[in-house]
């Protein structure tokens, strides 16, 4: 795919959604970090349901640490892998208090040093909380990048690097959200909705469905 096509793709995505953001609900950098940690192998909908119960009771490192693993588990037990996530969240809260004055760190190195925080989670926080041009390549972004030809790659890291290289600079900060939303609602896994896709004429997908 050439750079002119990529530019037009992101220009259209921006026109359709000028201010994209995550569908996770949060009111602070800390709430975002915890929500993203809980969202691994879970839907944003399920995480939001849990945090709507949790955050009015505990939404700081101090208050979640006070709940403890068992107390936190009661609030997030509807989310997959909740036991291990509860342990990681509580351990993360302890580190934030001991090493970062209770604040969410702003570097990838410090974020990935937190229990349960991998590269993808760190990228979400860097991008969404701090406005860094980071690409958190989840299953949606991986699929859209490869299927459309925007940034093909055999691994999430390869796609991440290709996106950072090929997405025009003016779109870099928001590209992560546009691609996730496009993959979640239009360029879906089993049968992409090409007939209602605003970039269908620009993408490289060979088996487009036009009978919608």
Burial class of residue 185 (count of CB atoms within 10 Å of its CB; 0-12, 13-18, 19+): exposed
What DSSP designation does 22 have?
Answer: -
> Does residue 208 carry a catalytic annotation?
no
How far apart are alpha carbons 203 and 210 in whole angstroms?
13
168 and 141 together in one domain: yes
Do residue 45 and residue 121 come from a single domain?
A: yes
The reply to whether 87 belongs to the active site is no
Q: What average pLDDT does the structure give for the chain?
A: 94
CATH of the domain at 104: 1.10.340.30
Residue 103 sits in the same domain as residue 42: yes
Q: Are residues 91 and 165 in the same domain?
A: no
User: Which residues constitute the domain of residue 62?
Assistant: 29-128
d(CA 122, CA 128): 10
Confidence label for 173 from pLDDT (cuts 50, 70 and 90): very high
Residue from 5, 29, 85, 138 carrying the catalytic annotation: 138
pLDDT band at 152 (very low <50, low <70, confident <90, very high): very high
Residues 69 and 155 in one domain: no
Domain closes at, from 128, 150, 176: 128
Q: What percent of the chain has pLDDT over 90?
A: 92
**Could you tell me how far CA 175 lies from the centroid of its own chain?**
11
Task: Give the C-alpha separation, 117 to 125, whole Å.
Answer: 10
Torsion sign (Cα): 78, 90, 103, 109 = negative
Tell whether 118 is covered by a domain. yes
Please give the distance of CA 38 from its chain centroid, rounded to a whole number: 11
- Residue 105, classed as helix, strand or coil, is coil
Domain boundary among 128, 160, 185: 128
Domain tally, the chain: 2
pLDDT score at 210: 56
The model's pTM is 0.88
Q: Which residue in the list 120, 174, 201, 204 is annotated as catalytic?
A: 120
């Amino acid at each position: 795919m050439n750079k002119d096509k990529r530019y037009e793709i992101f220009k259209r995505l921006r026109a359709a959604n000028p201010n994209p953001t995550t569908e996770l609900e949060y009111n602070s950098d800390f709430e975002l970090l915890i929500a993203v940690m809980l969202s691994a192998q879970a839907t944003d909908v399920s995480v939001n349901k849990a945090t709507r119960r949790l955050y009015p009771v505990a939404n700081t490192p101090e208050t979640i640490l006070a709940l403890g693993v068992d107390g936190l588990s009661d609030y997030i037990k509807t989310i997959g892998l909740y036991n291990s996530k509860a342990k990681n969240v509580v351990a993360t809260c302890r580190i934030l208090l001991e090493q970062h004055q209770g604040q969410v760190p702003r570097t990838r190195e410090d974020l990935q040093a937190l229990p349960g925080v991998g590269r993808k989670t760190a990228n979400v926080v860097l991008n969404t909380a701090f406005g860094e041009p980071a690409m958190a390549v989840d299953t949606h972004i991986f699929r859209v990048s490869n299927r459309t030809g925007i940034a093909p790659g055999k691994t999430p890291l390869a796609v991440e690097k290709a996106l950072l290289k090929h997405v025009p600079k003016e779109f870099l900060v928001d590209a992560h959200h546009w691609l996730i939303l496009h993959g979640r609602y239009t360029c879906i896994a089993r049968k992409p909705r090409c007939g209602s896709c605003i970039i269908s004429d620009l993408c490289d997908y060979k088996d487009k469905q036009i009978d919608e």
